[in-house]
Amino acid sequence: MSVVNDPITVRLLDIYRIGLGPSSSHTVGPMRAARQFRLACFDAGFQPARLRVLLKGSLSATGRGHGTDRAILAGLCGWEPETCDVDDVQGIVERLAADPRVAWGDASVEVRPEDVRFLPYLAYKHETLPHPNTMVCQALDAKEDSVFEQTWCSVGGGFVRQAGEEGSDFQRPPPSAPRYPFATATDLVRHAETEGCTLGEIVLRNEESWDGTRDSVLAGLDSVWNAMRSCIGRGLDRDGVLPGGLGLKRRAGELLARVERGEVEAAYGAIARAQAYAYAVNEENAAGGRVVTAPTNGAAGVLPGVLVEASERLEFTRERIHSALATAAGIAMLIKTHASLSGAEVGCQGEVGSATAMAAAAMCETLGGTVRQAEQAAEIAIEHNLGLTCDPLKGLVQAPCIERNAMGVAKAWSAAQLALHSGEGHLISLDRVIEVMKRTGDDMKREYKETSEGGLAAVSLPEC
């Protein structure tokens, strides 16, 4: 296992962030980093004439397709991904091109679209980047000299950190050690078995010990659940072509219509409906709509696809939904700590692979599985996503990303069923497979990690 042995203190509601598509690491993270740079300038008392942001690594290679420039401009204006107006973000480049003045205390600062610069690889090829998603934020004086500078890394799932810092920007650091400390899946399972509860209940009890009550976190989970369902509803109601130039049509509504007309095999019906829900979420994400990172935007469709379909069919209680979401988050906490949730760091195994593991564990528990079976379901799901590359065409979170989420739904269901019915006791532990995920990501060539330089992204599209 990883050398990280301290108890995990990632907060539950930091796993699920309500923000804008199409990418948690390329949209949500950069917006938050830019906003924190703005606040740091205020704290330091700087009144710059102009702001500039230099993008390196994957942020430079695929940032245009992810709307990274719009997100950074919004962050420099002080906007937050959870609360900003989606339409305002979509139109921010045009607005600032016409008038670059942005309020800055009692004065203003110039924020020009062209000052968010996508640096070519040759410009930084001799540097050792602190992370594949790196951005350098600069405050310039009237002579365009830098008077204040910070380097930020978007480390996946909307989390960011300054270069040189350990961990990432957990917004609400816990005030004390967790009630049930766990650094590994083995620890988490042991606590749950000792207490006779689910994996998710251990996560919830830790939150309760930190906050004194679980009311606020349950209200937060209600908001997450409502946002997931609303996103599915919006995605099913819309048609047309997704932005970006691939000409990819929205298909979620049509897929669901086929299910409801009985045009799919009856045995496949539940999975097909869940896949239509996953399509709906990821099509909304690709269009820059509001989604929930679960654990990233690029993989946001798997967990809601599985859980919303199952909750409708099996009539989950509010308590059951809370437990399922908390169990899924516990799996994400382990992966984030010991591997990565970033496609730019470990490939899509860290995104769709992680989401599939989260959904598999949650589904297994809601169907009556033991905590060991839930752990096994997560392990199976990751094991069969090992080596999955991140290779979006044209840097857009559309192809093959949307279909990969639908396939993640099917894999999550299969992993849950295998864990439930193949007998307890498996050769490979969840801890071990997470370690292998990290090593596989480290060994993966950079072309296959969200650069659009390898894999499917490097294959020429046929003329139609």
pLDDT score of 167: 58
Lowest mean pLDDT among 4-8, 11-15, 201-205, 285-289: 4-8
pLDDT score of 369: 96
Helix runs in 133-238, H state only: 185-195, 199-211, 215-237
Q: Confirm if 355 and 303 have CB atoms less than 8 A apart.
A: yes
pLDDT score of 192: 98
Q: What distance in Å separates the CA atoms of residue 91 and residue 86, rounded to the nearest whole number?
A: 9
Smallest CA-to-CA distance from 287 within 392, 400, 402 is with 402
Question: Would you give the DSSP letter of residue 24?
Answer: I
Q: How far apart are the first and last CA of the chain?
A: 49
Smallest CA-to-CA distance from 155 within 129, 178, 181, 180 is with 129
Q: Where are the beta strands (DSSP E) in 196-348?
A: 290-292
For 181, the token pair is 């400390």
Model confidence over 419-464: pLDDT tens digits? Answer: 999 876 778 999 999 999 999 999 999 999 988 889 998 875 543 3
Q: Is the pLDDT of residue 243 over 50?
A: yes
pLDDT bucket at 3, cuts 50 / 70 / 90: low
Model confidence over 399-415: pLDDT tens digits? Answer: 999 999 999 999 999 99
The single residue listed with the structure tokens 């299910």 is 259
The single residue listed with the structure tokens 């988050």 is 329
pLDDT score of 65: 85
Q: Confirm if 367 and 416 have CB atoms less than 8 A apart.
A: yes
Q: What distance in Å separates the CA atoms of residue 129 and residue 61, rounded to the nearest whole number?
A: 14
Lowest mean pLDDT among 1-10, 186-195, 366-375: 1-10
* Contacts of residue 306, Cβ cutoff 8 Å, sequence gap at least 6: 274, 359, 362, 363, 409, 412, 413
Q: Confirm if 354 and 364 have CB atoms less than 8 A apart.
A: no
Q: What distance in Å separates the CA atoms of residue 382 and residue 430, rounded to the nearest whole number?
A: 8
Lowest mean pLDDT among 129-138, 156-165, 279-288, 328-337: 156-165
The single residue listed with the structure tokens 């798997």 is 302
Burial of 15 (0-12, 13-18, 19+ CB in 10 A): buried
CA 159 to chain centre: 9
Q: What distance in Å separates the CA atoms of residue 267 and residue 296, rounded to the nearest whole number?
A: 30
Work out the percent of the chain whose per-residue pLDDT is above 90.
86
Model confidence over 4-23: pLDDT tens digits? Answer: 679 999 999 999 999 999 99
Residues listed for the chain:
464
Work out the percent of the chain whose per-residue pLDDT is above 70.
96
Q: What is the dihedral of CA 257, 259, 263, 268, to 10 degrees?
A: 160
CA 215 to chain centre: 25
* Contacts of residue 4, Cβ cutoff 8 Å, sequence gap at least 6: 183, 337, 338
Task: Read off the pLDDT of each residue in 123-149 and give the average, rounded to a whole number.
Answer: 95
Task: Read off the pLDDT of each residue in 148-167 and give the average, rounded to a whole number.
Answer: 89
Model confidence over 23-77: pLDDT tens digits? Answer: 989 999 999 999 999 999 999 999 999 999 999 999 999 888 889 999 999 999 9
Q: What distance in Å separates the CA atoms of residue 356 and residue 378, rounded to the nearest whole number?
A: 8
Q: pTM score, two decimals? A: 0.90
Q: Confirm if 23 and 289 have CB atoms less than 8 A apart.
A: no
Q: What distance in Å separates the CA atoms of residue 274 and residue 158, rounded to the nearest whole number?
A: 25
Task: Read off the pLDDT of each residue in 146-150 and give the average, rounded to a whole number.
Answer: 95
* Contacts of residue 255, Cβ cutoff 8 Å, sequence gap at least 6: 272, 275, 276, 279
Question: Would you give the DSSP letter of residue 16?
Answer: S
